[in-house]
Structure 1
Amino acid sequence: MLLTLGLLTTTTGSGGAPHPYVGMWVTADGRIRQELLPDGRYEEARDGRERAYTGRYTVTGSHLDYFDDAGFTATGDVRDGVLYHEHLVLYRER
């Protein structure tokens, strides 16, 4: 179900629970950590630099659109439980 919060559109799972993509995603080497927050925001840490990138995201099916606070956009897709975000490959942190 799509949930609209002001200008922000994000996705929730059934019963209003957070969408299954919400949480921490990490590259295999741990250098890049991207947290998808339940309010439709994300925070990305790179090489130990916390909040190197921040912004909002939307989910449509298995596709993600990112709108960075610095003004650029990016996309991602989840396939077989792996997040392919532009040139990055991220795995769910358990």
Structure 2
Amino acid sequence: MAGTVGSDHVDVVGTWVTADGHIRQELLPDGRYEEARGERRRAYTGRYTVTGSHLDYVDDTGFTATGDIRDGVLHHEHLVLYRERKPA
């Protein structure tokens, strides 16, 4: 289920960011993602699928990666990303 939320899938849609703000990953509801690195917007783009709390990524060049949501934190390969909260 690409980017969708089902009873057995964690809601991952939204922006995830590293603690230092250098890497921002936007997981879109249509199963696409855009990743920014520093000032470089859309440094990586591709698609993702969600199975339970596990994510599989395939970027537009064919590179693959994985991630897992644990305790509300996205562990994406060697990165740790936190869900960005918009100010109320």
Equivalent in 5, 13, 16 of residue 13 of structure 1: 5
Identity, in percent, stands at 79
Which residue is equivalent to 1:66? Answer: 57
5+ residue gaps, structure 2, are: none
C-alpha spacing 1:11/1:43, structure 2 compared with 1 (3 Å): closer
Residue identity matched to 1:58: T
**TM-score, normalised relative to structure 1:** 0.83
Query: CA–CA distance in 2 between the matches of 1:22 and 1:90?
Result: 13
Greater than 2 Å deviation, 4+ residue runs: 11-14
CA RMSD of aligned residues (A): 1.5
Residue identity matched to 1:21: V
Paired residues, number: 83
Indicate the structure with greater strand content: 1
5+ residue gaps, structure 1, are: 3-9
Query: CA–CA distance in 1 between the matches of 2:3 and 2:59?
Result: 18
